[in-house]
Amino acid sequence: MRTAPDGKRVAVRYRGWTTEDFGSFRSYAYDDPRPEPRPARARMPVIAGDPVKGRALFVSRAVGPCTGCHLVRGEDVWPAGNVGPDLSTYGDRNLPAEYTFGLIYDPRHIFPQSLMPPWGTDGVLSLEEIVHVVAFLTYGIDRVRELFGDKDTRGLFQGDFVCHNARELNWNEPIFHPHTIKAVGGVTIGVIGQAFPYVPVSHPSRFVPGITFGIQDGQAQRLVNELRDDRNVDLVVLLSHNGFSTDVKMAGRVKGLDVILGGHTHDGLPRPLLVGKTLVVNSGSHGKFLSRLDLDVRGGRVRAHRYKLYPVLSNHVAEDEAMARLIRELRAPWEARLAERLAVSESLLYRRGNFNGTFDEIILDALLARFDAEVAFSPGFRWGVTIVPGQAITLEDVYAHTGLSYPNTLSRELTGAEIHRIMEDVADNLFHPDPYYRQGGDMVRLGGVSYVIDPRAPMGRRISEIKVRGAPLEPSRRYKTASWASPGPEAPGPPAFDVVADHLRGLGRVKLDPRPRVKVL
């Protein structure tokens, strides 16, 4: 405070503080008589957030600043307030961007007694500005660069992060190092990174604004030639997230690849598949297998190989003490909540089928009941732990089966023709004769529906004899449907894990009768 010449005490603002009059906005002071604005919601715009702009808004004294209550990284934000939680590692929580947007726009929908101002409802931040703040707090591409580096710099990660097919959309410039070279056992090995080619299609494109992927086998061929001809490596390995069928086709098109170590489709191969001179290896998923590949490399080529796929029997492998301690520390704040017993299963529950699984039925039943729907859709993810008869289903088990960064549910009306078209589109993604047109995964799971499928039939003619609740599907009739994990704009419904958890709490015990939904010709 400073005393003015007339004797009045006036507040001296920090240098650079705005002189704009915010008197029309409620101050949240105890003696402020103005009414509190009613809680409001807004849909997150589908625009690319700029984390640099977001950080500038976060620390701006003309806006808040947010650092009056929260700590974030950077020497320029100290000292910071501690009324709110430390947000330095907010991105580590992997919360959906839409959730964070809603929390900033008006937190009272989630925390009714929140002291944080409703920045959007009060009009202090525009929708676009909130998107920028979200990009700063969550994992935008700048955060990925901070962790893993890019083609010009190294990140916090001590290993090599390689990816040749993630490129800037308009300039076609690579974002990361495309390959690395390692010396192992007297042999120089070139390792090329291949990201999942269909990220902007299979996931919300707002997660990767301005980035393109694709298979890009021509670029892969140029890198193989560079490693062999210019860098004189003895062995070239492709570390791939393509999926098995795409790996096989790529092995036949890109010459000079010795080994493809693949993933995505979760296939555990008892032995490598030899395509020409390329060994294609997939080692399952979820830590269930460990594969060992020994290569005899002489004169710049593989002379012989030996391979073993080992099942991992976790109860017979001693845990790493340091890692176990870290996991216990990270879980401790959430242990009681994760351990909540929702129901007891009398059936074997799993999600490993190509067309359906018993835990899929739990998810579908929950969607049908929550939205009073006739048809339910659930994505064909083979995730989650198996629940044996007599075992309690915990909240952690539900998260294991439904944990996504875009988990929201959606209820809408679709015609019978639209339902049929969705089924045909997914089937073509799985069974197209050209592997480059497949995105992996499994058939969409459907609740309330039975059908016949011929995987060998052409596009548009694979699905037949569709029935809804036992009656033939009517193309022109409108059906009420429920779904989750939409790759489009954010769905407005509650997240699937909440819907499933509430459903199980209401059941108490789970017993599934056989449900022959799908007949495969």
> When comparing pLDDT for 94 and 72, which is higher?
72
Average pLDDT over residues 248-274: 93
Average pLDDT over residues 305-324: 90
Going from the N-terminus, what domains does the chain have, and what CATH number goes with each? 1-139 (1.10.760.10), 149-314 (3.60.21.10), 333-520 (3.90.780.10)
pLDDT at site 518: 92
65: preceding bond cis by omega (within 30 degrees):
yes
> When comparing pLDDT for 66 and 344, which is higher?
344
DSSP letters, 398-425, are HHHHH--SS-BEEEEEEEHHHHHHHHHH
DSSP letters, 178-189, are -EEEEEETTEEE
In whole angstroms, give the CA distance from residue 230 to residue 172: 23
* pLDDT tens digit sequence for 174-186: 889 999 999 998 9
> When comparing pLDDT for 488 and 373, which is higher?
373
pLDDT at site 54: 85
Closest C-alpha among 98, 84, 93 to residue 41: 98
DSSP letters, 320-388, are PHHHHHHHHHHHGGGHHHHT-EEEEESS-B----SS--HHHHHHHHHHHHHHT-SEEEE-----S--B-
In whole angstroms, give the CA distance from residue 54 to residue 135: 7
Find the distance separating the first CA and the last CA of the chain, reported in whole Å: 82
What mean pLDDT, rounded, does the chain reach? 87
In whole angstroms, give the CA distance from residue 479 to residue 279: 48
Closest C-alpha among 356, 476, 472, 494 to residue 413: 476
> When comparing pLDDT for 152 and 182, which is higher?
182
Let me know: does 498 contact 350? Beta carbons within 8 Å: no
Amino acid at 433: P
In whole angstroms, give the CA distance from residue 422 to residue 377: 10
Closest C-alpha among 521, 518, 520 to residue 360: 518
Take residue 426 and report the two structure tokens written for it.
């997914």
Task: Check pLDDT > 60 for residue 25.
Answer: no
Maximum Cα interatomic distance, the chain, rounded to a whole number of Å: 94
Let me know: does 291 contact 273? Beta carbons within 8 Å: no
Amino acid at 465: E
Query: Among all chains, which residue has been given the structure tokens 């402020």?
Result: 32
> When comparing pLDDT for 291 and 6, which is higher?
291
Let me know: does 100 contact 85? Beta carbons within 8 Å: no
> When comparing pLDDT for 151 and 441, which is higher?
151
In whole angstroms, give the CA distance from residue 204 to residue 485: 9
108 SS3 class: helix
If pLDDT is split at 50, 70 and 90, which confidence band does 93 have? low
* pLDDT tens digit sequence for 441-476: 788 999 999 999 999 999 999 999 999 999 999 999
DSSP letters, 43-101, are PPPSS---HHHHHHHHH-TTT--GGGT---SSGGG-S---SSPP-TTGGGG---HHHHH
Cβ contacts of 34-40, under 8 Å, gap ≥ 24: 37/118, 37/121, 37/122, 38/121, 39/106, 39/108, 39/109, 39/118, 39/121, 40/105, 40/106, 40/118, 40/120, 40/121
pLDDT at site 344: 96
In whole angstroms, give the CA distance from residue 261 to residue 282: 6
Torsion, Cα of 282, 285, 288, 291 (10° steps)? 20
221 SS3 class: helix
pLDDT at site 5: 72
- pTM of the shown model: 0.73
pLDDT at site 4: 66
In whole angstroms, give the CA distance from residue 45 to residue 43: 6
Beta strands 211-212 and 167-168 are antiparallel
